[in-house]
């Protein structure tokens, strides 16, 4: 092959490569152009979805926290006082117009109210049975039956009073009526104690063990530099042991409940006076204490005040818990007496 022919072959190969590049260039430009267009102009539908998702996320982050499930709504909180006021109004109206109503326990509406009262009394058994028997879960949560239990306890007493038209009859009817009224009064006392040892009327029961752990003494900052702190802690410990004693009688616990607020405030003032006197003495002996005297006093004062508040709450909670246990042991026999007296009353009325 001559040099001329070789040069001609090279020129032809270069020309073919140039034509191939020219053919592929529009395809590459179309691909790159499509990519650039997809980057510059995104899909509006995708942008809308992303925007909505971002807005929902930001709005959910800005939403206030939901209230705790244990905290009842204000309607449930206000319903109990409204119901009691309504019951009191019904009793007062029935007493005032007892002669005008013409109700009779043995016939008509008065007799029907007696049947309603007995039915409500039997329905009161559902709550304790639901609370103790797991097989009764299908009838609903115990919390709802607790509300029904309280409402029916008051309603039973009101219907019993209207049944007898606010008049005392025979001996068996007197015993039945007094049993109903004592039972209703016991229920009101139990409701008060229940609300004291629980977080509200429908909340969970307060944990005394956790409250005792919260009362543990933790000295404030800078306490190591104050030489009187061990004596101050000993004074607080002696007061705690005296106030938080669990082996108390009923009368002693009741007196403690009345006097705990005064006791803690008096002890707080005594401890603050002791702190001021000791800080003054140590400030004269130590320049470091003198420079930080106000800060140390503020720390000790806040510590003592917080501790006395916790001790007061725990002491009250212990007394209410003791009274609630005592009430529970009395409430059950009262209910048994009520059932027996009503059975005797119904038998006597229909037999004689």
Q: Tens of pLDDT along 78-111? A: 666 787 888 889 899 988 888 888 888 888 898 9
- DSSP 3-state of 216: coil
Mean pLDDT of the chain: 77
Asked whether the CA dihedral 248, 308, 321, 209 is positive or negative, the reply is negative
Helix (H) or strand (E) segment spanning residue 133 = none
In this prediction, residue 327 carries a pLDDT of 92
pTM for this predicted structure: 0.68
| Residues 218-222, mean pLDDT to the nearest whole number | 58
When pLDDT is cut at 50, 70 and 90, the band that residue 55 belongs to is low
CA angle 298, 300, 301 (to 5 degrees): 65
Chain centroid to CA 183: 27
* More confident position, 266 or 7: 266
When pLDDT is cut at 50, 70 and 90, the band that residue 247 belongs to is confident
CA angle 259, 253, 255 (to 5 degrees): 35
Q: Tens of pLDDT along 272-304? A: 999 899 888 888 888 888 888 888 888 889 889
| Residues 20-32, mean pLDDT to the nearest whole number | 49
Nearest to 350 by CA among 106, 102, 104, 103: 106
Residues with Cβ within 8 Å of 165's Cβ and at least 6 positions away in sequence, in order, are 94, 98, 101, 103, 104, 105, 110
| Residues 308-320, mean pLDDT to the nearest whole number | 90
Asked whether the CA dihedral 266, 208, 71, 56 is positive or negative, the reply is positive
* Residue whose structure tokens are 């004291």: 196
């Amino acid at each position: 092959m001559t040099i001329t022919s070789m040069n001609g072959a090279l020129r032809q190969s270069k020309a073919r490569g140039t034509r191939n590049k020219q053919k592929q260039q529009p395809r590459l430009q179309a691909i790159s152009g499509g990519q650039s267009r997809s980057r510059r102009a995104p899909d509006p539908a995708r942008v809308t979805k992303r925007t909505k998702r971002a807005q929902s996320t930001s709005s959910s982050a800005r939403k206030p926290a939901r209230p705790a499930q244990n905290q009842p709504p204000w309607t449930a909180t206000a319903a109990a006082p409204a119901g009691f006021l309504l019951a009191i109004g019904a009793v007062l109206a029935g007493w005032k117009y007892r002669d005008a109503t013409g109700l009779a326990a043995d016939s008509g509406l008065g007799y029907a109210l007696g049947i309603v009262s007995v039915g409500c009394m039997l329905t009161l058994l559902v709550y304790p049975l639901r609370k103790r028997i797991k097989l009764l879960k299908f009838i609903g949560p115990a919390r709802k039956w607790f509300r029904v239990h309280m409402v029916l306890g008051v309603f039973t007493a009101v219907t019993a009073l209207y049944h007898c038209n606010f008049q005392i009859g025979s001996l068996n009817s007197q015993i039945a009526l007094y049993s109903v009224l004592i039972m209703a009064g016991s229920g009101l006392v139990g409701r008060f104690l229940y609300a004291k040892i629980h977080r509200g009327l429908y909340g969970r029961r307060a944990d005394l063990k956790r409250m005792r752990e919260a009362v543990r003494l933790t000295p404030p900052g800078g306490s190591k530099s104050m030489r009187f702190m061990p004596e101050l802690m000993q004074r607080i410990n002696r007061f705690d042991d005296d106030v938080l004693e669990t082996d108390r009688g009923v009368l002693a616990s009741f007196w403690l409940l009345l006097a705990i607020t005064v006791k803690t405030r008096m002890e707080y003032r005594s401890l603050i006076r002791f702190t001021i006197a000791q800080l003054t003495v140590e400030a004269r002996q130590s320049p470091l204490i003198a420079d930080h005297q106000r800060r140390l006093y503020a720390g000790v004062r806040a510590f003592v005040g917080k501790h006395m508040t916790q001790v007061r709450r725990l002491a009250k909670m212990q007394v209410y818990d003791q009274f609630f246990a005592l009430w529970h042991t009395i409430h059950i026999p009262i209910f048994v007496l009520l059932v027996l007296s009503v059975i005797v009353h119904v038998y006597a009325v229909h037999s004689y």
